[in-house]
Amino acid sequence: MHTALKNKYLSDKLRLNIASLLLIVCIFTLAVSPTMLYAQGTSAGVDIGNKAIVTYSIDGEQQNPIESSPNGNRISGIGGGQQTIFKVDRKIDLSITSNGNTHVSLGETQAELNFVLSNDGNDIQEFLLSPDGTLAGDNFDSSNCKVEITAVTGTPLAGVVLPSYDNIMLSPDQQASISVKCDIPFDNNGQAILTNHESLLSIHAHANKNSDGTTTVEENTPDSANTLDTVFVDSAGTDDAQRDASHSTRAAYIALAPSTETPPTLSINKTIVTVVDPQGGNKAVTGSIVTYKIRVSTAGEGIINDVIITDPTPAEMTYKSGSIKLNNITLTDSIDTDQGEFSTQNNIITINLGNITAGSQQEILLTYVIN
Amino acid sequence: MNTIKTTTTLKIMAALGGIALVSSILMFGTQASAASAQGHLKVTSKVQKMVVINKGGEKSYQFVPAKKVLPGEIIQYNTFFQNISNKPANNINIVNPIPKHTVYLPNSAQGKNTQTVFSVDGGKHYGKAGTLKVRGKDGKWHLAKPSDYTHIQWQYQGSLAPKAKQVVAFRVRLR
């Protein structure tokens, strides 16, 4: 073919292609509702078409192009072939995450925990949310839990009214803010709830309905390339399995105040255990070694925080180095990782007991020498 | 004379093709079919899904019918072309637009006795992979990425004898 002719042919071909392309675009626009591209991928239900065009010559003469079709096309000319089509299937994927634990006072009504639900699938989906405040393995249970969907990212879908309760319709990539409110008991079936006691709450989100109102079911039966199938691809949550169209996570209510019925108490007393004089007797004379016992007694329930015992060296006495014992274990005098120290600057013994559980007893032994 | 005849035929073809398409729209989506004669080739486009099987760290690939396809999955298209005439066919070019919503997978275009070229401008110009350029958002020209490709063209070398059948293939990832 001459170059000029080839150009002419190509320009004709181009015109043809543009013409048919425009027509195809028109048909496409008429037949298919507008589709959007999401981070989660091409929307469910979109038909992906493919058509190849073959040009060739016979006996040196350029022939009309032939388009492809799924089962083989031999009709020449644009429009002779057919698209080879498959339908993008429905991907069910979701995730729910916690915004953190919350502190509650005993007897508080409708204490709030917050979560974020994300539609990670490629279709509009309705999600059902169910909380469970009665999990095992925690200190107490919450009750009367209510779920409220307070906000969504972007524009809410048509028909979605916020706040919504128990369920929410989300488009692909859309997220919902979930508020769960439960009642906190005063006690755990008669037993005291103490500070830092936890009540676990599990929130379970389930893709239960498709945008057309049908129940979301995974199809396992063989189908064709042109049917819209539903496939579960979600990962396992704290309280659900993978590929079950569900996701779950947990958060905790943490009790702030101990029960007032048995408040913790602390008492301290100091007694002389032994006096040993230089002659082996028990007289308090110069050179006598005096051992004291400090007893820290606690009662009630709860945690007593930051307990520090200080003992200034008595007048006319000198601290006997290396003599601090806590619950019969010798502590060093230096400032280090153990709980005891003796300051040579101000002659004070300090024992840091930290946080102790109410009801426990601590015993400290200290020894001084009479000057 | 021969050459003029070809162009004229094409123009008529264009007109006929247009009418056929318009009438098909009027018939509410009946399959478009040009009132054209049987060609010399039979062209078939087949679609399959590529599944990666990981057996103890060793990867293998399996091709299954594209029945269940989700975003992110890999699709292979095979285009078969068979000479159904009794004369050899020459200058065979296969042009395949990259399907909408998909991205071409680098180095996936294959075909025996073919040279493969790509277009990044809707099929107006073609060039070898790695030579094409696209204008970026900054207004400068950059080397095109496979995701910029709009069309693939296989230029079949030599002639295809009567009854002979060949295939070209490429892969895409569904967005």
Last residue of a domain, one of A213, A228, A255: A255
Give the H/E segment covering residue A368.
strand A361-370
A325: which 2 tokens? 């014992």
Looking at 1.10.3470, 1.25.10, 1.10.10, 2.60.40, the CATH number of the domain B38-174 comes to 2.60.40
- Average pLDDT across each block of 10 residues of chain A; the chain has 371 residues. List them in order: 43 42 37 50 95 96 96 95 96 97 94 97 96 94 96 94 95 96 92 90 97 89 82 96 97 80 83 92 91 91 86 91 92 89 90 88 93 91
Span B64-85, average pLDDT: 95
User: A135: domain CATH number?
Assistant: 2.60.40.10
Name the residue in chain B with its Cα closest to that of A18: B122
Distance to chain B for A3, nearest Cα, Å: 11
* Residue entry with tokens 């930051």: A306
Domain of A13 in residue numbering reads as 3-88
Question: Contact A60/B32, CB-based, under 8 Å?
Answer: no
pLDDT at A258: 56
Contact between residue A17 and residue A55 where contact means Cβ atoms under 8 Å apart = no
Give yes or no: residues A38 and A161 share one domain.
no
The complex scores an ipTM of 0.78
User: A293: domain CATH number?
Assistant: 2.60.40.740
In a domain, A195, yes or no: yes
pLDDT at B30: 37
Question: Contact A69/B45, CB-based, under 8 Å?
Answer: yes
Give me the residue from B7, B65, B67 closest to A9, CB to CB: B7
Q: How many domains does chain A have?
A: 3
Convert the pLDDT of each residue in B92-128 to its tens digit. Answer: 999 999 999 999 999 999 999 999 999 999 999 999 9
Give yes or no: residues A164 and A202 share one domain.
yes
* Residue entry with tokens 């950059």: B142
User: How many whole angstroms separate alpha carbon A313 and alpha carbon A319?
Assistant: 6
pLDDT at A260: 56
Last residue of a domain, one of A54, A88, A122: A88
In a domain, A238, yes or no: yes
Give yes or no: residues A82 and A13 share one domain.
yes
Give the three-class secondary structure for B5: helix
Q: At B15, which amino acid appears?
A: A
Give yes or no: residues A204 and A116 share one domain.
yes
Give yes or no: residues A231 and A154 share one domain.
yes
Q: At A350, which amino acid appears?
A: T
In a domain, A260, yes or no: no
pTM of the model as a whole: 0.65
Give yes or no: residues A100 and A155 share one domain.
yes
Question: 3-state SS of chain B: helix, strand, coil percent to 5?
Answer: 15, 45, 40
Question: Contact B43/A54, CB-based, under 8 Å?
Answer: yes
User: How many whole angstroms separate alpha carbon A43 and alpha carbon A38?
Assistant: 7
Give yes or no: residues A223 and A138 share one domain.
yes
CB-CB neighbours of A36 under 10 Å: 10
Give yes or no: residues A98 and A78 share one domain.
no
Distance to chain B for A167, nearest Cα, Å: 25
Give me the residue from A54, A61, A88 closest to B6, CB to CB: A61
Looking at every residue in chain B, the average pLDDT score rounds to: 83
Distance to chain A for B140, nearest Cα, Å: 26
Q: Give A340's strand partners.
A: A351
Give me the residue from A50, A91, A223 closest to B47, CB to CB: A50
Question: Contact A79/B20, CB-based, under 8 Å?
Answer: yes
Last residue of a domain, one of A88, A105, A132: A88
Give me the residue from A31, A41, A88 closest to B29, CB to CB: A31
What Å distances lie between residue B135 and A53, B60, B128, B132, B142, CA to CA?
A: 27, 38, 17, 10, 6
Give yes or no: residues A199 and A112 share one domain.
yes
